[in-house]
Structure 1
Amino acid sequence: NKHTNCRIYNIRIIYVTLQAVPNVQRNQLQLVGVTAMFIASKYEEIYAPDVGDFVYVTDHAYTKADVFQCEREIMSKLGFCLARPIPLSFLRRFVKAAHGTSKNHHLAKYLVDLSLVEYTMAHYRPSELAAAAICLSLHLLSGKKLEEVWTPTLSYYSGYSLEHIDPIIRKLAKIVVNVDNSRYKAVYNKYLDTSLAKVSSLHQLRGEAIYELAKIPSSS
């Protein structure tokens, strides 16, 4: 969980930085990326990597001084505030409210992880992503309708109606059915692990229900 949280913070820092400074030069994007990772690791990890490790990752394209300077600029843009909730903070609460299983939790985490690299999902609140992910997870694993799994209890604890999260659910479904065509397989491969219930290989992720939500004709 620590590594997952660190990755989520890393991506959020990059998004916020690029929104605050939209004209970042292309040759500086790698510096922003490794500096965001450096900041996230110091915030989230007990033993954070040394700044020299991040310089090494860039093949010494930047110096330690470059990373420290970029860190100061990013933290200034963030208002020196990193203590903001992430989707997983809400997901634990929603799974408990739904009396969900560990498989529900793993599948919802997989959906959240897939959404992190999709820029079209960047503007959604962490709580919205978590709510949509657990709703889709409950729907796929139970075979029940969305209206049945999104109970008044979940609506109360999340603060969202089904109508509110429905567009997000459909976007998540579209991301899932396009996984096979994606060049980025790291998240998919991660969730093939038995400790995560191999949720990325579930047959429900290639079934009629999710294709219907994504509005893509099923190949089966």
Structure 2
Amino acid sequence: MKHALMNDENRPSNLGEPTARVTRARSKFLGSSSGLPPLYPSAKQDDKRASRASLKRDAPDKSAGSSAACHPNKKKAVLKDVTNVNCEKLYTNCINAAKGQPIRQDRKGSLQKKGKVEPACFAKGSKVLEVKIENIVDEVKLEGSQDTCPAVDLPTEQTKITNEVSVAAGSSPLKIDSIQKISLWGPSGRDEGKLCMKEESLEAKGVIDIDSRHRDPQMCSPYAADIYTSLFTRQVDRKPSPDYMEKLQRDITKGMRGILIDWLVEVSEEYELVPDTLYLTVNLLDRFLSENYIEKQKLQLLGVTCMLIASKYEEICARRVEEFCFITDNTYKKEEVVEMESRVLNLLKFQLSVPTTKKFLRRFIQAAQASYKVPSVELEFLANYLAELTLVEYSFLKYLPSITAASAIFLARWTLDQSDDPWNPTLEHYTRHKASELKNTVLELQVLQLNTKGGMLNAIHEKYKQPKFKCVSTLRSPESVESLF
């Protein structure tokens, strides 16, 4: 009997009732009585269903036709015609509402009521928030002009957009007035204007713009100026102490430090590490020694540990811990290196992003090559050679990395060509140092180049004596650089 009724659920009943689906409740009722239950329940049943609806949402029916027949469609709030609303104005109003800025409407335009939005209640007992947008102005008038602005030609002046919003949340409408101005400059127009002003100012100073002509995306030309501004600032904060040997270290000397760094240069050549790894290694070593006392038996362990940390930061494929233990002839075990690594990182607070001399040298070499028709490879190699000579010398810790890099460029240009002034407005602009500020550093650097003190640490000299570096370590200037100051 039950299945028969379910098969005939789409047929009209004999009682003259409208077509309806036989639900489980009606089927159960038919099993106990001879008639169909009423399609429209009583008022008490309505109250029960209403209370249940507030607690639990009805599951949607799979059949569209059956759901339409069983549950009448509820009327929803319909957004009326707002076709003449300017999209740019709506976007501006949304931004102002997000910032908490009130909006005022200009009553000089048309005063037609465009639309009304009535959102439904979100929860029982909550206040209904009605947002009423009235008097939306279709025309955008310029300040000081009576004609409307065409959509194609955007002016350079600012436009005035005014609207009125009345908000009712269980209280009287609140009206707040304000004026919002928006610049109609396009982003391309702003960038081109700034670029033109920048080029004109640099050309007036006799400076060659090295960022506008460079097309290599790896050089980050649009952001290079901001990046190096940050590096110039941070080089002071993460600079090692220039006198930690005299104040803190009692078991090691300047000579021990030089021997260690000279050996680390050979290790970097053996493992084919990038120059940035070597510079960062020396920086970590000096910063650790500036804050922590260490015995001379642990000095080599500290050196290989700093190189391990630097290789993890700079190298694409870092060397393993076992390889650094092997390079020390297994003097130190893996556990000792790992323990020292944790000690160094915790002391330095994991601050490994350091503006070393190498980072400034790349920028300054690019500025030095700007005046050449053909880039000079010897200039690049010689500047790198002079800069690496300063790693071994403890006395160069008192100079900032940017000054050391600029001095290396100054002396390299003078070594290769004595007929021209090694300093020009382009180098002064990008290095941010005048020639007079480099005098002491250049003179000390020339002493290292000539090796007048007869130092025995020749790892860097032998490295740049190879043909792949054009044997730049053998170059000397016939005239003293002191005559330039």
Match of 1:9 in 2: 280
Q: Gaps spanning 5+ residues in structure 2: where?
A: 1-271
Aligned partners of 1:110 and 1:200 also within 8 Å: yes
Query: 2 CA distance for matches of 1:35 and 1:95?
Result: 31
Structure 1 moving runs of 4+ over 3 Å: none
One-letter identity of the residue aligned with 1:41:
S
Change over 3 Å in CA distance of 1:104–1:33 after alignment to 2: same
Partner of 2:330, secondary structure, is coil
| Residue segments in structure 1 that go unaligned for 5+ positions in a row | 214-220
Alignment of 1:14-33 (within 5 A): 14-21=285-292, 23-33=293-303
Normalised TM-score (structure 2): 0.41
Structure with greater helix share of residues: 1
| Residue from 424, 427, 434 that aligns with 1:154 | 427
| 1-structure distance, mates of 2:456, 2:392 | 12
In structure 1, what is the equivalent of residue 191 of structure 2? none
- Mapping 1:162-181, distance limit 5 Å: 162-178=435-451, 181=454
Q: Give the aligned partner of residue 128 of structure 1.
A: 403
**Structure 1 pair 56–195 and aligned structure 2 pair: CA distance change class (3 A):** closer
Change (3 A) 1:173 1:203: closer
Q: 2:338 aligns with which of 63, 68, 71?
A: 68
Mapping 1:42-191, distance limit 5 Å = 42-99=312-369, 101-144=376-419, 148-178=421-451, 181-191=454-464
Return the match for 1:196 from 469, 475, 480: 469
Cα 1:80/1:190, change in 2 over 3 Å: same
Inter-CA distance 54–130: structure 2 relative to 1 (3 Å threshold): same
| Secondary structure of 2:274's aligned partner | helix
In 2, Cα distance between equivalents of 1:95 and 1:15: 26
Question: Partners in 1 of 2:320 and 2:366 — Cα distance?
Answer: 37
**1:35 matched residue in structure 2:** 305
TM-score, length-scaled by structure 1: 0.86
Partners of 2:324 and 2:368 lie apart in 1 by: 41
- Corresponding residue SS for 1:34: helix
Distance 1:87 1:60, change over 3 A: same
Q: Classify 1:195/1:58 alpha carbon distance in 2 versus 1 (closer, same or farther; 3 Å).
A: closer
1:58 CA drift (Å)? 2.7
Higher relative contact order (CA 8 A, sep 6+): 1
> Cα–Cα, structure 1 residues 73 and 13, in superposed 2: closer, same or farther, change >3 Å?
same
What is the aligned-residue RMSD (CA, Å)? Answer: 2.0
Q: Give the deviation of 1:19 after TM superposition.
A: 0.6
Identity between Structure 1 and Structure 2 (%): 33
Q: Write the deviation string for residues 140-171 of structure 1: whole angstroms up to 9, x where unpaired.
A: 211046xx221122111111111211111011
Using the alignment, how far apart are the partners of 1:118 and 1:69 within structure 2? 28
Aligned length: 207
**Structure 1 residues 88 and 179 mapped into 2: Cα distance closer, same or farther (>3 Å)?**
farther
Shift of 1:195: 2.0
* CA distance in structure 1 between the partners assigned to 2:287 and 2:419 by the alignment: 37
CA distance in 1 between partners of 2:285 and 2:338 (Å): 16
Q: Which amino acid aligns with 1:142?
A: D
User: 1:98 is paired with a residue of what secondary structure?
Assistant: helix
Query: Could you tell me how far 1:209 is from its partner in structure 2?
Result: 2.0
- Report the alpha carbon displacement of residue 203 of structure 1 after superposing the two structures with TM: 4.1
Shift of 1:180: 8.1
* Deviation, structure 1 residue 113: 0.9
Q: How many angstroms apart in 2 are the aligned matches of 1:203 and 1:178?
A: 11
Summarize deviations over 1:14-62 as a string: whole Å, max 9, x none.
11111111x2111111111111111111111122121112222333332
1:174 shift after superposition: 0.8
